[in-house]
A and B are shown apart, each in its own frame.
Chain A
Amino acid sequence: NAGVMQNPRHLVRRRGQEARLRCSPMKGHSHVYWYRQLPEEGLKFMVYLQKENIIDESGMPKERFSAEFPKEGPSILRIQQVVRGDSAAYFCASSPSQGGEQYFGPGTRLTVT
């Protein structure tokens, strides 16, 4: 059973460009969470999705950030018009149930130049 997959693993964008981060959950998992982590800091919740639905986006900035989890295909975290402050590691995690254990992907390290 493959684990949570994220791609790309590293992404470099210039200020003003768009960043698209992909996450494929573990097989059988329909709950996906996105987190952001700055160096030497903890994980900050961004958004929780189930297939085709955003359940909780309270941790996501209102502007420039969006997330989706379509019926087919991976979950996508999109950051428009990136700024230097968006540089961070973005992890997604999947779970078989709401409130259940979460399994993390390897993360996407975004660098904005």
Chain B
Amino acid sequence: QQPVQSPQAVILREGEDAVINCSSSKALYSVHWYRQKHGEAPVFLMILLKGGEQKGHDKISASFNEKKQQSSLYLTASQLSYSGTYFCGTETGANNLFFGTGTRLTVIP
């Protein structure tokens, strides 16, 4: 039930954009996105609850395609502080989240 994330890793220059995808083989109730910096706890970014829902804050936004059982995280005009590993967590109706294997994002000057 673990969702699949792509790409596994990406390197960006400051100011560039990136898209991280999360796909599930099961129907989704919600998708959560988190960012984790090395040696630290994951930090909640956003949760998408309905099909077609889009959310965002600052220059990070996400969409949720319920039909395709997919979600995408969009990072625009990336900053050095965006570096970290991004995880999606999917809720399939069970009582817990299944987290993807992560996408390691590195932003360089």
Contacts and interface: CB of A to CB of B under 8 A. Distances in A.
A105 B41 contact: yes
Given A41-B101, A106-B41, A107-B41, A100 B96 contact: no
A79 B70 CA distance: 36
Interface stretch (A11-19, A42-50, A65-73, A80-88): A42-50
A99 B91 contact: yes
Interface string A42-67: 11110010000001101100000000
Given A48-B96, A56-B96, A91 B42 contact: yes
Interface in B71-109: 87, 89, 91, 94-102
Given A99-B30, A102-B32, A103-B44, A42 B97 contact: no
Interface of B: 2, 29-30, 32, 34, 40-44, 47, 87, 89, 91, 94-102
Interface of A: 33, 35, 41-45, 48, 55-56, 58-59, 91, 93, 98-107
17 contacts: A33-B97, A41-B101, A42-B99, A43-B42, A45-B98, A45-B99, A55-B95, A93-B42, A98-B95, A99-B30, A101-B44, A101-B47, A102-B32, A102-B44, A102-B89, A104-B44, A107-B41
